[in-house]
Each structure stands twice: as structure tokens, then as C-alpha cells.
Structure 1
């Protein structure tokens, strides 16, 4: 057998091989902006998912609505205390509404000098409301609301008691519900 063969094109092998023949072409590179956009989007979504998971697991957020525990209602019994001065403001445009409410309080047991009817700057107050300044006065406010035939009761620092602690005052604002009722 011959040990030498004639030279052909396959005998010339370059030092650095450049591929010749069937092989896979390079994948085109994605633009850097697209890659950064996807990375930022994934970061934001994973951060939001982590925060929500933390809030649910720490029981700060309830994912099932309607299973909230009811807020306990305070059951304060109304107290009749005629030692309180009652300022009655007319929150309607009609004349004499404050005097009517004051007359109901006098009929319930307050003395004339402890009930002070007056006009209010508001003429469109919707519902008669008894305002008290501190939580300790809630029972007295409920008693006043009961004495005038029912009214809303609200804690408000807008109607503060006088600076002298011996003088105790609660404010009643007669609303439009008193005009239509009577």
C-alpha cells in the first residue's frame, strides 16, 4: 500500500480552525435594554410578592374578606346628671328649635339656669347630635340624648368643657331632623 497520497485541499489545515461545514450559527444577542427591562420587571414583581406574603403571614392583611372579627361595641348605660350645663345650639334656619330642645331638657329634670339655648352659625345641620369632650362624659351624653327623644352622640374636641373643672358642659346641636319632626 502506498504510504504517500497526492495532496488535496483537505491537507492544508490552518493553524486556527475556522469551522467549515454544517454547524449551528450563533444566536443573535438580545439588546441590553431589553434584558435590563426584563430584569427590572422581575425585580419589582418579586418585591411586591414578597411584601404581600409578609403582610399575609404576619396577619396584617386579611386575604379572605368578611372574616374580620367584630369591633366590640361599648355598652355604656345612659346617666341622668342634671349637674351638667347643657348648651343647646340651633343648627337649623328655623326659629325656636333650640328653645324647644331646652324645654324638653327642663321637663326631663334640668333646671332653667343649666340649659342655655342659643343660635348656631350653621343653618343646615342634618341630625341632632349631643357632643361630649371626654370619654368619661359618654354616659351623660347618652342620658341627654335619651331625654330629648333620641339623638346622635359623638365625641368631639370642638366643644370643649370650660377650663374650670367644677363646670361641666355638654353641647347639643339641634338639626334639621327636629324641624321636619315637629
Structure 2
């Protein structure tokens, strides 16, 4: 083989063990397919988790700060304190067929401190009134109604203008300033009578 007459250059001094000759490069090792798939799956999972977390933060379901308002604590509704106020006049109506029930209840009220002249009795238009109820007119009358309910051994209270004085200025003998409570005795008092109803 004839010798080359070209002058020597830097490519003639490369060692044979390098695997490269001249400008040729060695072949790159191939990446295995399952490694590529694993990295793609991992990246997809990370993106899904970040997306879900971001959605929860934006929608307010997750708070990143400590400024969240404390949960409201349950509190009992305020109750109106019962007051035994003997300045009220009282009308006791028997809403049952049990004769003498209104008189027995009147005696209990008078014994609690009401003047006898302030407590009247009568019969209701109905004789099958279900539950003993005390009717009061104004919001400010509620404590006195509750106190009277306790005095007669428990009763419901309700706001109503039933048998209350009229406030019509043209009505003769206007009694709009009179404080009055109306007691309608019901069938819940018939079994044992008013005197046998347990006191509070």
C-alpha cells in the first residue's frame, strides 16, 4: 500500500482505543422505553396533584393562612325571666265543662299575692279548650305572663289582644293603660283540677 504523501495533522495522532477516527463520533447509548414512560407518568401525576390543590385553594376549601374565622359556638336562646307582678289584673275563664275550675284557679292566684278585686272569673265560649293558656298584650307583658303561668302551676303563654282593653280614644271609659292578663283554662286541668296541678 502506497504511503500517503499528505502532511501529517492532529487527526493522525489519535489512539486506536478511543473508538473514533477522524471526525466520526461514537454512537450514543439508547434510552430504554420504560424509563421514558416512568418519567412521563410521574410528571403527569405531579401535575394532577398540583392542579387539584390549586383548585381547592382558589375555591376557598383550603386556607393557607391562620386567619380563618373560628366556628360559631352554639348558644342557648335567651329566655324571658318570669316575674310575679301583682299589679296586673287577671281574668280567669273556664274553657271546660268542669264547674268550679275557674274559682279554684282564682283562689290560687289570690293566695300568691294578687288582690281579690283584681282577679275575675268567667266562662269561655268554648268548653273543649285544649291547653291552659295565658294571653298577654304587649311584649313588655311577657315576663308577667310567665310569672302567672308559674303561679298557677304551668301554662302556655301567647300574645293576643283577646279581651284586652281597647285603645280607641273615642270609647267611653278608655282603659288602654290597664295591665291585664287573660287565663283560659283547658282540658289539661280537668283530670285533677287546678289545685292538684303541681306547683313549679
Q: TM-score range by the shorter chain?
A: 0.5 to 0.7
Q: Select the structure of larger CA radius of gyration.
A: 2
Q: Within 1, Cα distance between the matches of 2:87 and 2:81?
A: 18
TM-score, with length taken from structure 1: 0.58
Give the counterpart of 1:127 among 131, 135, 159. Answer: 131
Matched, 1:169 2:180: yes
What is the RMSD of the two structures over their aligned residues, measured on CA atoms? 2.0
Q: Within 2, Cα distance between the matches of 1:99 and 1:72?
A: 38
> How many Å apart are 1:73 and its aligned residue?
3.4
TM-score, with length taken from structure 2: 0.53
Q: In structure 1, list runs of 5 or more residues that go unmatched.
A: 1-69
Kindly report which structure 2 residues correspond to 1:29-178, keeping only aligned pairs within 5 A, or say none.
73-163=77-167, 164-178=175-189
* 1:162 to 1:111, Cα distance in 2 relative to 1, 3 A: farther
Give the number of equivalent residue pairs.
114
* 1:126 to 1:146, Cα distance in 2 relative to 1, 3 A: same
Q: In structure 2, list runs of 5 or more residues that go unmatched.
A: 1-73, 168-174, 194-200
3-state SS of paired residue (1:157): coil
* 1:147 to 1:95, Cα distance in 2 relative to 1, 3 A: same
Contact between 1:132 and 1:159, CA under 8 Å: does it hold in 2?
no
> How many Å apart are 1:106 and its aligned residue?
0.5
Any idea what the Cα deviations from partners look like across 1:69-115, whole Å, max 9, x if unmatched? x8973411011111110000000011111111111100111011000
> How many Å apart are 1:160 and its aligned residue?
2.4
